[in-house]
Amino acid sequence: MEAEIGIIGGSGLYSLLDEEYVRKSQFFNTAHGQHSGPATLGEIDGKNVIFIPRHGSKHQFPPHNIPYKANIHLFEKFGVKRIIAPCAAGSLQPSIKPGEFVICDQFVDRTHGRDDTFFHGPDVAHISSADPYCPEMRKVAVESCKRLKIPHHEQGTCVVINGPRFSTKAESQWFHNNGWEVINMTQYPECVLAREKGMCYLNISLITDYDAGLEGHPEVEPVSAEDVAEIFSRNIDSVKKLIFDIVGNMPERSCECSKALEEARL
């Protein structure tokens, strides 16, 4: 069975498909080791999909140790062309509130030590990351948010920190002053690895907190893991409805993302 759409569940989203939609759920071998959790193959609105939990079914993989390459390679094996990747994220700006969604269009990488490419030589490719998130999928996601009346922001820059710790107040203030909107621990290298494989990639950031607080708002407490879990669980139904609506309205044809590798070699 091939699957045209891959879905990666973030913190709090460890399963997606009810039994009526599932065809099989198991682990598969990849050239980059075992993927992070059981791969569930099924169908949404007549389209074959494959779902995996990013952090594992019991949240056993911290952000810096997620088997990103195995996850993306698994999707490649099943013929995935488009990836929907929701995640829990913090807000860096007062105008972006917990419970709202951000459809990111840019990221800033602040991670270190992660294996972030499939091209370690002698095959070398310099992938363009100018527009890392698929514009076509972002448009579909925005329209779905409007249709479902989900509070959302049509664009935003996600700064990706290494984790598993949260930011200091000084770090958070620096990110805020740079004008970045969202903070997360898993968008890199997942997004770029997908691009190296010619897959369209969509991020949906569910805002769960205000990171280390907001300057001038002493009543806003720094984030805790408990806060993230509570807000995400409160919005899990909206996340699932959005994913199903996006899948149902996804165009059949591939976009320019599929050609990223063609222009990446010297």
Please report, for residues 11, 51, 88, 137, the alpha-carbon distance to residue 38 in angstroms, rounded to integers and kept in the order given: 15, 8, 20, 25
Give the residue numbers annotated as catalytic, written as ranges: 209, 211
Q: Which helix (H) or strand (E) holds 42?
A: strand 39-44
Please report, for residues 2, 137, 218, the alpha-carbon distance to residue 179 in angstroms, rounded to integers and kept in the order given: 41, 24, 20
One-letter identity of residue 20: E
C-alpha 10/C-alpha 62 separation (Å) is 11
* 111 CA to centre of own chain: 15
Q: Which residues pair with 101 in a beta bridge?
A: 152, 206
Those residues with Cβ within 8 angstroms of residue 158's Cβ, 6 or more apart along the chain or in another chain: 89, 102, 104, 106, 107, 108, 180, 181, 182, 183, 184, 187, 203, 205
Alpha-carbon Rg for the chain, nearest whole angstrom, is: 17
Sign of CA dihedral 191, 196, 197, 199: positive
Contact present, 83 and 136 (Cβ < 8 Å): no
